[in-house]
Chain A
Amino acid sequence: MPWKRQARETSSQTSAFEDLALPLLPSLYNVASWLSRNPVDAEDLVQETFLKALRGFATFESGTNFRAWMFRILRNTYLTSRTGLAARSTVALEDELADRNESGLALLPEGAIDRQTPEMSLINLGDRAALQAAMEKLPPPLLEVVLLCDVEELKYREIATVLDIPIGTVMSRIARARAALREELRASNKLSREYSA
Protein backbone atom coordinates (compact mmCIF):
# COMPACT_ATOMS: atom_id res chain seq x y z
CA MET A 1 0.00 0.00 0.00
CA PRO A 2 1.48 3.38 -0.99
CA TRP A 3 0.80 5.16 2.29
CA LYS A 4 2.46 2.36 4.23
CA ARG A 5 5.54 2.54 2.04
CA GLN A 6 5.65 6.32 2.29
CA ALA A 7 5.26 6.24 6.07
CA ARG A 8 8.07 3.70 6.30
CA GLU A 9 10.33 5.81 4.07
CA THR A 10 9.64 9.01 6.02
CA SER A 11 10.23 7.27 9.32
CA SER A 12 13.49 5.69 8.21
CA GLN A 13 14.63 9.01 6.75
CA THR A 14 13.90 10.78 10.03
CA SER A 15 15.73 8.07 11.91
CA ALA A 16 18.75 8.35 9.58
CA PHE A 17 18.73 12.11 10.08
CA GLU A 18 18.66 11.71 13.86
CA ASP A 19 21.54 9.24 13.76
CA LEU A 20 23.66 11.71 11.82
CA ALA A 21 22.54 15.00 13.33
CA LEU A 22 22.14 14.43 17.07
CA PRO A 23 25.84 13.71 17.76
CA LEU A 24 26.55 17.14 16.24
CA LEU A 25 24.23 18.93 18.64
CA PRO A 26 26.92 19.94 21.22
CA SER A 27 29.24 21.26 18.49
CA LEU A 28 26.49 23.18 16.72
CA TYR A 29 25.28 24.67 19.98
CA ASN A 30 28.80 25.69 20.96
CA VAL A 31 29.48 27.43 17.63
CA ALA A 32 26.03 29.04 17.67
CA SER A 33 26.67 30.39 21.17
CA TRP A 34 30.00 31.87 20.16
CA LEU A 35 28.50 33.52 17.10
CA SER A 36 25.28 34.81 18.64
CA ARG A 37 26.78 35.49 22.10
CA ASN A 38 23.37 34.92 23.63
CA PRO A 39 21.95 31.60 24.91
CA VAL A 40 18.41 32.30 23.70
CA ASP A 41 19.55 33.27 20.21
CA ALA A 42 21.93 30.29 20.15
CA GLU A 43 19.10 27.89 20.98
CA ASP A 44 16.88 29.42 18.29
CA LEU A 45 19.73 29.21 15.80
CA VAL A 46 20.35 25.52 16.46
CA GLN A 47 16.64 24.67 16.40
CA GLU A 48 16.22 26.49 13.10
CA THR A 49 19.28 24.72 11.73
CA PHE A 50 17.93 21.29 12.69
CA LEU A 51 14.52 22.00 11.21
CA LYS A 52 15.96 23.32 7.93
CA ALA A 53 18.27 20.32 7.73
CA LEU A 54 15.40 17.92 8.47
CA ARG A 55 13.28 19.51 5.75
CA GLY A 56 16.14 19.42 3.27
CA PHE A 57 17.53 16.04 4.28
CA ALA A 58 16.06 14.41 1.18
CA THR A 59 18.34 16.63 -0.91
CA PHE A 60 21.45 15.72 1.07
CA GLU A 61 23.71 13.50 -1.01
CA SER A 62 24.71 10.50 1.07
CA GLY A 63 28.45 9.94 1.04
CA THR A 64 29.20 13.67 1.12
CA ASN A 65 30.22 15.53 4.25
CA PHE A 66 27.17 15.74 6.53
CA ARG A 67 29.05 17.69 9.22
CA ALA A 68 30.10 20.40 6.77
CA TRP A 69 26.53 20.44 5.40
CA MET A 70 25.09 21.05 8.87
CA PHE A 71 27.60 23.76 9.68
CA ARG A 72 26.83 25.42 6.38
CA ILE A 73 23.13 25.50 7.23
CA LEU A 74 23.96 26.86 10.69
CA ARG A 75 26.15 29.55 9.22
CA ASN A 76 23.60 30.59 6.60
CA THR A 77 20.89 30.67 9.25
CA TYR A 78 23.14 32.81 11.44
CA LEU A 79 23.79 35.26 8.58
CA THR A 80 20.07 35.90 8.21
CA SER A 81 19.44 36.08 11.96
CA ARG A 82 19.19 39.32 13.90
CA THR A 83 22.68 39.00 15.39
CA GLY A 84 24.15 37.85 12.09
CA LEU A 85 22.70 40.80 10.19
CA ALA A 86 23.99 43.19 12.84
CA ALA A 87 27.46 41.67 12.66
CA ARG A 88 27.52 41.79 8.88
CA SER A 89 26.53 45.42 8.77
CA THR A 90 29.39 46.46 11.03
CA VAL A 91 32.27 44.36 9.75
CA ALA A 92 34.19 44.95 6.55
CA LEU A 93 35.68 41.87 4.95
CA GLU A 94 38.78 43.54 3.66
CA ASP A 95 40.51 40.20 3.25
CA GLU A 96 38.30 39.44 0.26
CA LEU A 97 40.95 41.36 -1.70
CA ALA A 98 43.18 38.35 -1.20
CA ASP A 99 40.92 36.35 -3.48
CA ARG A 100 42.45 38.08 -6.47
CA ASN A 101 45.46 35.79 -6.53
CA GLU A 102 43.39 32.74 -5.49
CA SER A 103 46.15 31.62 -3.12
CA GLY A 104 45.28 34.22 -0.53
CA LEU A 105 48.83 34.13 0.74
CA ALA A 106 50.10 37.42 -0.62
CA LEU A 107 48.22 39.53 1.88
CA LEU A 108 49.23 37.62 4.98
CA PRO A 109 50.26 40.14 7.59
CA GLU A 110 53.93 40.93 7.83
CA GLY A 111 55.38 39.48 11.01
CA ALA A 112 52.50 37.05 11.44
CA ILE A 113 55.14 34.95 13.14
CA ASP A 114 57.41 37.04 15.32
CA ARG A 115 60.63 35.04 15.34
CA GLN A 116 62.57 37.39 17.58
CA THR A 117 60.22 36.98 20.53
CA PRO A 118 60.39 33.99 22.86
CA GLU A 119 56.61 33.67 22.58
CA MET A 120 56.07 30.93 25.08
CA SER A 121 57.63 32.89 27.91
CA LEU A 122 55.46 35.93 27.11
CA ILE A 123 52.11 34.25 26.55
CA ASN A 124 50.39 31.94 28.97
CA LEU A 125 48.44 29.56 26.79
CA GLY A 126 47.13 27.80 29.90
CA ASP A 127 45.06 30.86 30.75
CA ARG A 128 41.80 29.74 29.18
CA ALA A 129 39.86 32.81 30.30
CA ALA A 130 42.36 35.13 28.60
CA LEU A 131 42.16 33.11 25.39
CA GLN A 132 38.36 33.14 25.48
CA ALA A 133 38.43 36.90 26.01
CA ALA A 134 40.78 37.22 23.02
CA MET A 135 38.43 35.09 20.91
CA GLU A 136 35.49 37.29 21.89
CA LYS A 137 37.33 40.28 20.45
CA LEU A 138 37.78 38.68 17.03
CA PRO A 139 35.50 40.03 14.30
CA PRO A 140 32.89 37.44 13.21
CA PRO A 141 34.65 36.41 9.93
CA LEU A 142 37.83 35.58 11.87
CA LEU A 143 36.01 34.04 14.83
CA GLU A 144 34.02 31.64 12.65
CA VAL A 145 37.14 30.44 10.86
CA VAL A 146 38.89 29.84 14.21
CA LEU A 147 35.87 27.93 15.50
CA LEU A 148 35.67 25.74 12.41
CA CYS A 149 39.42 25.16 12.10
CA ASP A 150 40.70 24.96 15.67
CA VAL A 151 37.63 23.98 17.69
CA GLU A 152 35.72 21.80 15.21
CA GLU A 153 38.90 20.69 13.42
CA LEU A 154 37.42 20.91 9.94
CA LYS A 155 39.82 20.73 7.00
CA TYR A 156 40.48 23.85 4.92
CA ARG A 157 38.44 22.38 2.07
CA GLU A 158 35.47 21.79 4.37
CA ILE A 159 35.73 25.28 5.84
CA ALA A 160 35.76 26.73 2.33
CA THR A 161 32.54 24.81 1.64
CA VAL A 162 30.87 25.95 4.86
CA LEU A 163 31.80 29.60 4.41
CA ASP A 164 31.49 29.54 0.62
CA ILE A 165 34.88 31.18 0.11
CA PRO A 166 38.10 30.07 -1.68
CA ILE A 167 40.64 27.99 0.26
CA GLY A 168 43.14 30.85 -0.08
CA THR A 169 40.80 33.11 1.84
CA VAL A 170 40.38 30.44 4.50
CA MET A 171 44.17 30.32 4.95
CA SER A 172 44.43 34.08 4.97
CA ARG A 173 41.71 34.42 7.63
CA ILE A 174 43.27 31.70 9.79
CA ALA A 175 46.63 33.48 9.70
CA ARG A 176 45.03 36.79 10.57
CA ALA A 177 42.92 35.30 13.32
CA ARG A 178 45.89 33.60 14.98
CA ALA A 179 48.01 36.74 14.69
CA ALA A 180 45.18 38.70 16.33
CA LEU A 181 44.84 36.14 19.12
CA ARG A 182 48.56 36.20 19.76
CA GLU A 183 48.66 39.99 19.90
CA GLU A 184 45.69 40.11 22.24
CA LEU A 185 47.21 37.49 24.55
CA ARG A 186 50.53 39.27 24.58
CA ALA A 187 48.82 42.56 25.45
CA SER A 188 46.68 41.04 28.20
CA ASN A 189 49.68 39.23 29.66
CA LYS A 190 51.68 42.43 29.67
CA LEU A 191 48.84 44.24 31.43
CA SER A 192 48.51 41.57 34.10
CA ARG A 193 52.27 41.62 34.72
CA GLU A 194 52.26 45.38 35.10
CA TYR A 195 49.29 45.14 37.41
CA SER A 196 50.93 42.53 39.62
CA ALA A 197 54.31 44.35 39.67
Chain B
Amino acid sequence: MSDHLSPALLNSLADGELTPDQRAAVDKHLAECRSCTSSALFQSLLKSATNKAGQRYNPPAQFLERLALRAGDEIAPSRSAQFRITPWSMRGLAFASFLVAFALLLVIGSMAFVQRSSYRAAIDSSRYAGLVTEACDQHIATLASNLPPQVISSDRHTVKPWFQGKLPFSFNLPENLPDDTKLEGANLTYLGSQPAALLLYSIGKHRVSIFVRQRTSTGIPDGFSREHDGFRVIGFSTGELEAVAVSDVDPIRLSALVGMIEQSQTRASQSTK
Protein backbone atom coordinates (compact mmCIF):
# COMPACT_ATOMS: atom_id res chain seq x y z
CA MET B 1 0.00 0.00 0.00
CA SER B 2 2.33 2.72 -1.24
CA ASP B 3 -0.31 5.44 -1.89
CA HIS B 4 -2.25 7.20 0.83
CA LEU B 5 -5.25 5.45 2.35
CA SER B 6 -8.51 6.10 0.52
CA PRO B 7 -11.34 7.99 2.25
CA ALA B 8 -13.37 4.77 2.24
CA LEU B 9 -10.60 2.92 4.11
CA LEU B 10 -10.19 5.75 6.62
CA ASN B 11 -13.95 5.80 7.28
CA SER B 12 -14.07 2.02 7.59
CA LEU B 13 -11.13 2.17 9.99
CA ALA B 14 -12.92 4.72 12.19
CA ASP B 15 -16.10 2.63 12.05
CA GLY B 16 -14.35 -0.67 12.84
CA GLU B 17 -15.51 -2.15 9.54
CA LEU B 18 -12.20 -3.33 8.08
CA THR B 19 -11.57 -7.02 7.47
CA PRO B 20 -8.56 -8.50 9.31
CA ASP B 21 -6.49 -8.39 6.11
CA GLN B 22 -7.45 -4.78 5.41
CA ARG B 23 -6.74 -3.87 9.02
CA ALA B 24 -3.26 -5.40 8.88
CA ALA B 25 -2.45 -3.54 5.64
CA VAL B 26 -3.80 -0.26 7.04
CA ASP B 27 -1.85 -0.65 10.30
CA LYS B 28 1.33 -1.26 8.30
CA HIS B 29 0.72 1.84 6.21
CA LEU B 30 -0.11 3.99 9.25
CA ALA B 31 3.15 2.98 10.90
CA GLU B 32 5.00 4.62 8.01
CA CYS B 33 2.72 7.49 6.92
CA ARG B 34 2.33 10.45 9.22
CA SER B 35 -0.23 12.16 6.98
CA CYS B 36 -2.58 9.18 7.00
CA THR B 37 -2.09 8.72 10.75
CA SER B 38 -3.19 12.30 11.27
CA SER B 39 -6.18 11.80 8.96
CA ALA B 40 -7.14 8.57 10.71
CA LEU B 41 -6.94 10.26 14.12
CA PHE B 42 -9.07 13.12 12.88
CA GLN B 43 -11.70 10.76 11.46
CA SER B 44 -11.79 8.90 14.74
CA LEU B 45 -12.13 12.11 16.79
CA LEU B 46 -14.82 13.42 14.43
CA LYS B 47 -16.79 10.20 14.88
CA SER B 48 -16.42 10.41 18.64
CA ALA B 49 -17.40 14.09 18.74
CA THR B 50 -20.42 13.39 16.50
CA ASN B 51 -21.44 10.57 18.82
CA LYS B 52 -21.55 12.93 21.77
CA ALA B 53 -23.10 15.86 19.90
CA GLY B 54 -25.74 13.55 18.43
CA GLN B 55 -26.98 12.43 21.85
CA ARG B 56 -28.97 15.59 22.24
CA TYR B 57 -32.58 14.78 23.07
CA ASN B 58 -34.02 12.90 26.05
CA PRO B 59 -37.62 11.72 26.29
CA PRO B 60 -39.79 13.93 28.55
CA ALA B 61 -40.41 12.60 32.07
CA GLN B 62 -44.07 11.73 31.42
CA PHE B 63 -43.45 10.17 28.02
CA LEU B 64 -43.21 6.61 29.32
CA GLU B 65 -46.57 6.92 31.08
CA ARG B 66 -48.22 8.30 27.94
CA LEU B 67 -46.70 5.50 25.91
CA ALA B 68 -47.91 2.92 28.43
CA LEU B 69 -51.44 4.31 28.26
CA ARG B 70 -51.50 4.19 24.47
CA ALA B 71 -50.04 0.71 24.49
CA GLY B 72 -52.72 -0.33 27.00
CA ASP B 73 -55.46 1.02 24.69
CA GLU B 74 -53.83 -0.86 21.84
CA ILE B 75 -53.56 -4.17 23.67
CA ALA B 76 -57.11 -4.28 25.03
CA PRO B 77 -59.11 -4.72 21.76
CA SER B 78 -56.57 -7.07 20.22
CA ARG B 79 -56.70 -9.29 23.26
CA SER B 80 -60.45 -9.43 23.35
CA ALA B 81 -60.44 -10.38 19.66
CA GLN B 82 -58.10 -13.24 20.38
CA PHE B 83 -60.35 -14.79 22.98
CA ARG B 84 -62.71 -17.08 21.09
CA ILE B 85 -65.79 -17.71 23.23
CA THR B 86 -66.77 -21.35 23.07
CA PRO B 87 -69.92 -22.71 24.81
CA TRP B 88 -67.97 -24.34 27.60
CA SER B 89 -66.05 -21.18 28.31
CA MET B 90 -69.18 -18.98 28.46
CA ARG B 91 -69.56 -19.81 32.12
CA GLY B 92 -66.09 -18.45 32.80
CA LEU B 93 -66.63 -15.27 30.81
CA ALA B 94 -66.87 -13.01 33.83
CA PHE B 95 -63.81 -14.61 35.36
CA ALA B 96 -61.95 -14.34 32.05
CA SER B 97 -62.83 -10.65 31.77
CA PHE B 98 -61.57 -10.11 35.26
CA LEU B 99 -58.30 -11.86 34.41
CA VAL B 100 -57.85 -9.84 31.22
CA ALA B 101 -58.47 -6.60 33.10
CA PHE B 102 -56.07 -7.72 35.82
CA ALA B 103 -53.41 -8.65 33.25
CA LEU B 104 -53.80 -5.26 31.60
CA LEU B 105 -53.40 -3.53 34.92
CA LEU B 106 -50.27 -5.52 35.54
CA VAL B 107 -48.81 -4.66 32.14
CA ILE B 108 -49.55 -0.97 32.44
CA GLY B 109 -48.49 -0.85 36.07
CA SER B 110 -45.22 -2.57 35.41
CA MET B 111 -44.50 -0.31 32.43
CA ALA B 112 -45.25 2.78 34.48
CA PHE B 113 -43.34 1.88 37.63
CA VAL B 114 -40.97 -1.05 37.42
CA GLN B 115 -39.46 -0.28 34.05
CA ARG B 116 -39.27 3.39 34.74
CA SER B 117 -36.59 2.64 37.29
CA SER B 118 -34.68 0.48 34.81
CA TYR B 119 -35.02 3.26 32.27
CA ARG B 120 -33.52 5.72 34.77
CA ALA B 121 -30.71 3.31 35.54
CA ALA B 122 -30.04 2.98 31.81
CA ILE B 123 -29.94 6.77 31.47
CA ASP B 124 -27.45 7.07 34.36
CA SER B 125 -25.30 4.28 33.01
CA SER B 126 -25.32 5.86 29.57
CA ARG B 127 -24.44 9.26 31.08
CA TYR B 128 -21.43 7.86 32.95
CA ALA B 129 -20.29 5.92 29.87
CA GLY B 130 -20.53 9.12 27.81
CA LEU B 131 -18.59 11.06 30.43
CA VAL B 132 -15.81 8.46 30.52
CA THR B 133 -15.56 8.31 26.72
CA GLU B 134 -15.49 12.08 26.35
CA ALA B 135 -12.86 12.51 29.08
CA CYS B 136 -10.65 9.82 27.49
CA ASP B 137 -11.06 11.32 24.02
CA GLN B 138 -10.04 14.74 25.26
CA HIS B 139 -7.08 13.24 27.13
CA ILE B 140 -5.92 11.48 23.94
CA ALA B 141 -6.51 14.58 21.82
CA THR B 142 -4.48 16.69 24.28
CA LEU B 143 -1.59 14.23 24.11
CA ALA B 144 -1.83 13.93 20.31
CA SER B 145 -2.01 17.66 19.59
CA ASN B 146 1.39 18.21 21.25
CA LEU B 147 0.41 21.83 21.92
CA PRO B 148 1.54 23.54 25.14
CA PRO B 149 -1.11 24.13 27.83
CA GLN B 150 -2.94 27.47 27.70
CA VAL B 151 -1.40 28.31 31.06
CA ILE B 152 2.02 26.78 31.66
CA SER B 153 3.00 26.68 35.30
CA SER B 154 3.67 24.29 38.13
CA ASP B 155 2.57 26.94 40.62
CA ARG B 156 -1.00 26.53 41.84
CA HIS B 157 -1.10 30.26 42.63
CA THR B 158 -0.59 30.93 38.92
CA VAL B 159 -2.85 28.24 37.53
CA LYS B 160 -5.90 28.84 39.74
CA PRO B 161 -6.13 32.63 39.18
CA TRP B 162 -5.80 32.10 35.42
CA PHE B 163 -9.35 30.73 35.42
CA GLN B 164 -10.82 33.88 37.04
CA GLY B 165 -13.50 35.25 34.74
CA LYS B 166 -13.25 32.18 32.52
CA LEU B 167 -15.22 29.75 34.66
CA PRO B 168 -18.46 30.33 36.61
CA PHE B 169 -16.97 28.58 39.66
CA SER B 170 -13.71 28.32 41.57
CA PHE B 171 -11.75 25.35 42.87
CA ASN B 172 -8.74 24.65 44.99
CA LEU B 173 -5.45 22.94 44.18
CA PRO B 174 -3.37 20.97 46.71
CA GLU B 175 -0.14 22.56 47.89
CA ASN B 176 1.74 19.31 48.37
CA LEU B 177 1.72 16.63 45.74
CA PRO B 178 2.76 12.95 45.87
CA ASP B 179 6.33 12.07 44.93
CA ASP B 180 7.28 12.48 41.28
CA THR B 181 4.00 14.31 40.60
CA LYS B 182 4.01 17.73 39.00
CA LEU B 183 1.44 20.27 37.85
CA GLU B 184 2.26 21.05 34.20
CA GLY B 185 -0.43 23.62 33.45
CA ALA B 186 -4.09 23.84 32.52
CA ASN B 187 -6.58 24.43 29.73
CA LEU B 188 -10.07 25.82 29.56
CA THR B 189 -12.32 23.17 28.01
CA TYR B 190 -15.85 21.80 27.85
CA LEU B 191 -16.97 18.48 29.25
CA GLY B 192 -20.53 17.40 28.52
CA SER B 193 -21.29 20.90 27.17
CA GLN B 194 -20.26 22.43 30.50
CA PRO B 195 -17.24 24.69 30.97
CA ALA B 196 -14.47 22.86 32.81
CA ALA B 197 -10.90 23.33 33.99
CA LEU B 198 -8.57 20.76 32.47
CA LEU B 199 -5.65 20.39 34.88
CA LEU B 200 -2.59 18.73 33.39
CA TYR B 201 -0.35 16.80 35.73
CA SER B 202 2.52 14.41 35.17
CA ILE B 203 3.33 11.43 37.34
CA GLY B 204 6.78 10.30 36.29
CA LYS B 205 6.50 10.16 32.52
CA HIS B 206 2.76 9.52 32.57
CA ARG B 207 0.37 12.35 31.79
CA VAL B 208 -2.79 12.92 33.78
CA SER B 209 -5.82 14.98 32.73
CA ILE B 210 -8.16 16.13 35.49
CA PHE B 211 -11.42 17.81 34.52
CA VAL B 212 -13.13 19.96 37.15
CA ARG B 213 -16.60 21.35 36.56
CA GLN B 214 -19.74 22.36 38.43
CA ARG B 215 -21.59 19.45 39.98
CA THR B 216 -24.41 18.10 37.82
CA SER B 217 -27.80 17.11 39.25
CA THR B 218 -26.81 13.49 39.81
CA GLY B 219 -23.14 14.08 40.57
CA ILE B 220 -20.52 11.35 40.39
CA PRO B 221 -21.00 8.44 42.80
CA ASP B 222 -18.45 7.75 45.55
CA GLY B 223 -15.64 5.46 44.46
CA PHE B 224 -16.33 6.05 40.77
CA SER B 225 -13.69 4.17 38.79
CA ARG B 226 -13.81 2.81 35.24
CA GLU B 227 -11.40 1.23 32.78
CA HIS B 228 -11.68 2.57 29.22
CA ASP B 229 -9.38 1.65 26.33
CA GLY B 230 -6.50 1.01 28.73
CA PHE B 231 -7.01 4.25 30.65
CA ARG B 232 -8.14 4.44 34.26
CA VAL B 233 -10.88 7.01 34.90
CA ILE B 234 -11.54 8.08 38.48
CA GLY B 235 -14.09 10.63 39.61
CA PHE B 236 -15.51 12.30 42.68
CA SER B 237 -18.11 14.90 43.66
CA THR B 238 -17.98 17.46 46.40
CA GLY B 239 -20.73 19.85 47.46
CA GLU B 240 -20.58 22.00 44.35
CA LEU B 241 -17.95 20.47 42.10
CA GLU B 242 -17.26 17.21 40.36
CA ALA B 243 -14.01 15.99 38.85
CA VAL B 244 -12.87 13.24 36.52
CA ALA B 245 -9.24 12.13 36.16
CA VAL B 246 -7.84 10.13 33.23
CA SER B 247 -4.44 8.51 32.91
CA ASP B 248 -2.60 5.32 32.05
CA VAL B 249 -0.51 5.57 35.22
CA ASP B 250 -0.70 3.01 38.03
CA PRO B 251 -4.27 3.38 39.46
CA ILE B 252 -2.90 3.63 43.03
CA ARG B 253 -0.78 6.65 42.14
CA LEU B 254 -3.65 8.21 40.22
CA SER B 255 -5.96 7.66 43.20
CA ALA B 256 -3.42 9.32 45.50
CA LEU B 257 -3.35 12.46 43.35
CA VAL B 258 -7.13 12.54 42.93
CA GLY B 259 -7.57 12.03 46.67
CA MET B 260 -5.39 15.06 47.42
CA ILE B 261 -7.35 17.21 44.98
CA GLU B 262 -10.63 16.05 46.52
CA GLN B 263 -9.33 16.81 50.03
CA SER B 264 -8.28 20.29 48.97
CA GLN B 265 -11.86 21.00 47.79
CA THR B 266 -13.28 19.68 51.04
CA ARG B 267 -10.89 21.77 53.12
CA ALA B 268 -11.74 24.86 51.08
CA SER B 269 -15.48 24.36 51.59
CA GLN B 270 -14.98 23.75 55.33
CA SER B 271 -12.88 26.87 55.74
CA THR B 272 -15.57 28.98 54.08
CA LYS B 273 -18.26 27.72 56.50
A residues in contact (CB < 8 Å) with B: 1-4, 6-7, 10-11, 14-15, 18, 22-23, 25-26, 29-30, 33-34, 39, 42-43, 46-47, 50-51, 54-55, 105, 108-109, 112-113, 115, 118-121, 125-129, 131-132, 135, 146-147, 149-151, 153, 155-156, 171, 174-175, 178-179, 181-182
- A18–B111 CB distance below 8 A: yes
- B67–A1 CB distance below 8 A: no
Expressed in whole angstroms, the Cα–Cα distance for A47 and B49 within the complex equals: 29
Q: Which of A15, A23, A33, A156 is within 8 Å of B15, CB to CB?
A: A156
Expressed in whole angstroms, the Cα–Cα distance for A73 and B71 within the complex equals: 16
B residues in contact (CB < 8 Å) with A: 4, 6-8, 10-12, 15, 17, 35-36, 38-39, 41-43, 45-60, 63-64, 66-67, 70-71, 74-75, 78-79, 82-84, 86, 89, 92, 96, 99-100, 103, 106-107, 110-111, 115, 118-119, 122-123, 126, 138, 141, 144-145, 189-190, 193
- B6–A10 CB distance below 8 A: no
- Expressed in whole angstroms, the minimum distance between the Cβ of B46 and any Cβ of chain A is 6
Expressed in whole angstroms, the Cα–Cα distance for A131 and B193 within the complex equals: 12
Expressed in whole angstroms, the Cα–Cα distance for A150 and B53 within the complex equals: 10
Known: A115-B35, A120-B145. A51 touches B70 (CB 8 A): yes
Closest to A172 in B: B8
- B84–A2 CB distance below 8 A: yes
Expressed in whole angstroms, the Cα–Cα distance for A39 and B60 within the complex equals: 9
- A25–B59 CB distance below 8 A: yes
Residues of A within 8 A of B126 (CB): 26
Expressed in whole angstroms, the Cα–Cα distance for A4 and B83 within the complex equals: 9
Known: A7-B83, A120-B145. A34 touches B71 (CB 8 A): no
Known: A14-B75, A30-B57, A33-B57. A7 touches B103 (CB 8 A): yes
- Expressed in whole angstroms, the minimum distance between the Cβ of B140 and any Cβ of chain A is 12
- A156–B17 CB distance below 8 A: yes
Residues of A within 8 A of B53 (CB): 128, 131-132, 135
Q: Which of A50, A55, A147, A171 is within 8 Å of B12, CB to CB?
A: A171
- A119–B49 CB distance below 8 A: no
- A30–B58 CB distance below 8 A: yes
- A26–B63 CB distance below 8 A: no
Known: A115-B39, A150-B50. A175 touches B8 (CB 8 A): yes
Q: Which of A34, A43, A175 is within 8 Å of B56, CB to CB?
A: A34
Q: Which of B7, B12, B48, B122 is within 8 Å of A113, CB to CB?
A: B7
- A30–B55 CB distance below 8 A: yes
Known: A47-B70, A126-B138, A128-B52. A7 touches B99 (CB 8 A): yes
- A54–B71 CB distance below 8 A: yes
Expressed in whole angstroms, the Cα–Cα distance for A92 and B86 within the complex equals: 57
- B79–A146 CB distance below 8 A: no
